[in-house]
Amino acid sequence: MAETIKMTKPLISAEAISKSYFKGQHKIPVLQGAGLKANRGEFISVIGQSGSGKSTLLHVMGLLDSPDIGEVILDGTRIDNLNQKARDQLRNHVFGFIFQFYHLLPELSLLENVMTPLMIRHSIFGYWAKRKEIRDAAMDIINQVGLSHRIKHRPSELSGGEMQRGAIARALVGKPEILLADEPTGNLDAVTGRGIMELLNSLNENQKLTIVMVTHDEAIAAQAHRTVRLAEGRIQLHAREDAA
């Protein structure tokens, strides 16, 4: 029950985010006051048409981009206006990203890809001192996503599903609090996509991982605890299976 009380305060919230792009002189508004809250351990899906600004919202929440107007609040602290260094740190420690196109680094093996966030976190000497720990952590995660037989392979030698599992392992190796998933199944066939969704669900259930996932696929969105719809730059007030 203590959990429930804690949950009343959202872990992350994007409040009244506006963001527009300029194409030449033309201002193209993408987000117009979109707001989104996610409690600790919650699995939220954001559904919207292609081009509706889902990715943009996710990038703003994950500090890859800054909003024109609005705030991003993590555990009660505003984070969108922090300096570059702090933002880098937060991305490394608090957020884990997975993308539609996996975005693994082609020159590195799967194991090296998974270790990358920890290599970024530690200096050369820090890495050298903890290399065994780091390797073990990465191997552990790779085991969880079921890829331990593929650690030496380059991304180009893996299937789409395997690459996405690898990307999930990389997102989780730094023990983030929030996983931001941008159409994780968008490039996969239905069966493989279901496998990925099962993996995400089990991570959410077993490790109480907070997940914000965007997708344009209703069936995929339906697998989250809660679904919100993004249209015309705003979150439409339509809730399904609301946990609250």
Partner 1 sequence: MYKLLLCVRYLRTRYIALASIISVMLGVATMIVVNSVMAGFTSEMRDRLHNFLADIVIESRTMEGIDDTDRQLAAVEAAAGEYIAAMTPTIDVPGMIMFEDPYNGKTITTQVMIQGIDPESKGLVGPLRDYLASYNPEIEDGVVIREAERSRAEPLSWELTASAARYREEMKRQEALEIRGAFEDDSLSVTNTPHENRAIDDSPDFDPVSSNPSTNAAADESKPLDDDAFLQDPLVKQPESQIQTGAYPARVYIGEGIVSFQAQDPDTGKLHKVMLRQPGDDIILSTVTVGRPPEIVKMNATVVDSFRSGMNEYDTSIVLMNIKELQKNRGMHLDNAITSIHIRLKNYDDAPKAIAALQGAFPPGTVTIKTWEEKQGLLLSAVEVETAILNVLLFLIITVAGFGILAIFYMIVVEKTRDIGILKSLGASSNGVMSIFLYYGLGLGIVGSTAGVALGLVFVRYINQIEDGLSWVTGRKVFDEKIYYFFEIPTYVNPVMVLSVALGAIAIAVLASILPARRAARLHPVRALRFE
Ligand X SMILES: Nc1ncnc2c1ncn2[C@@H]1O[C@H](COP(=O)(O)OP(=O)(O)O)[C@@H](O)[C@H]1O
Binding footprint of Mg ion on the chain (CB under 5 A): 55
- Supply the minimum distance, in Å, between the C-beta of residue 211 and Mg ion: 17
Residue 54 binds ligand X, judged by CB under 6 A: yes
Residue 41 binds partner 1, judged by CB under 8 A: no
CA angle 229, 231, 237 (to 5 degrees): 45
Q: Which residue has the tokens 């002189």?
A: 25
Q: How many residues bind ligand X (CB under 6 A)?
A: 12
- Supply the minimum distance, in Å, between the C-beta of residue 221 and ligand X: 13
Applying CB under 8 A, among 16, 108, 222, 231 the residue interacting with partner 1 is: 108
**Residue closer to partner 1, measured from CB, 73 or 108:** 108
Residue 56 binds ligand X, judged by CB under 6 A: yes
Q: Which residue has the tokens 């919100």?
A: 228
- DSSP conformation letters of 110-175: HHHHHHHHHHHHS-HHHHHHHHHHHHHHHHHHHHHTT-GGGTT--GGGS-HHHHHHHHHHHHHHT-
Applying CB under 6 A, among 6, 9, 21, 232 the residue interacting with ligand X is: 21
Task: Specify the stretch interacting with partner 1 by CB under 8 A; choose among 39-47, 61-69, 73-81, 213-221.
Answer: 61-69
- CA 104, CA 238: separation in Å to the nearest integer? 35
Q: Which residue has the tokens 């809730």?
A: 239
Q: How many CB atoms lie within 10 A of CB 160?
A: 16
- CA 138, CA 144: separation in Å to the nearest integer? 10
Residue 21 binding target from ligand X, Mg ion, partner 1, none, CB below 5 to 8 Å by type? ligand X
- Supply the minimum distance, in Å, between the C-beta of residue 123 and partner 1: 7
Beta pairing partners, 213: 45, 181
Beta pairing partners, 14: 36, 72
Residue 234 binds partner 1, judged by CB under 8 A: no
- Give the max Cα distance, the chain: 54
CA angle 90, 94, 97 (to 5 degrees): 100
Q: What is the phi/psi pair of residue 40, to 5°?
A: -60, 130
- CA 59, CA 42: separation in Å to the nearest integer? 19
Applying CB under 6 A, among 41, 53, 62, 70 the residue interacting with ligand X is: 53
Interactions with partner 1, residue window 67-86 (CB under 8 A): 84-85
- Supply the minimum distance, in Å, between the C-beta of residue 182 and Mg ion: 6
Residue 97 binds partner 1, judged by CB under 8 A: yes
Task: Specify the stretch interacting with partner 1 by CB under 8 A; choose among 116-124, 138-146, 198-206, 233-241.
Answer: 116-124
Positions that interact with partner 1 (CB under 8 A): 59, 62, 64-65, 84-85, 88-93, 97, 99, 103-108, 112, 116-117, 119-124, 126-128, 170, 174
Interface residues with ligand X (CB under 6 A) are: 21, 23, 28, 30, 48, 50-56
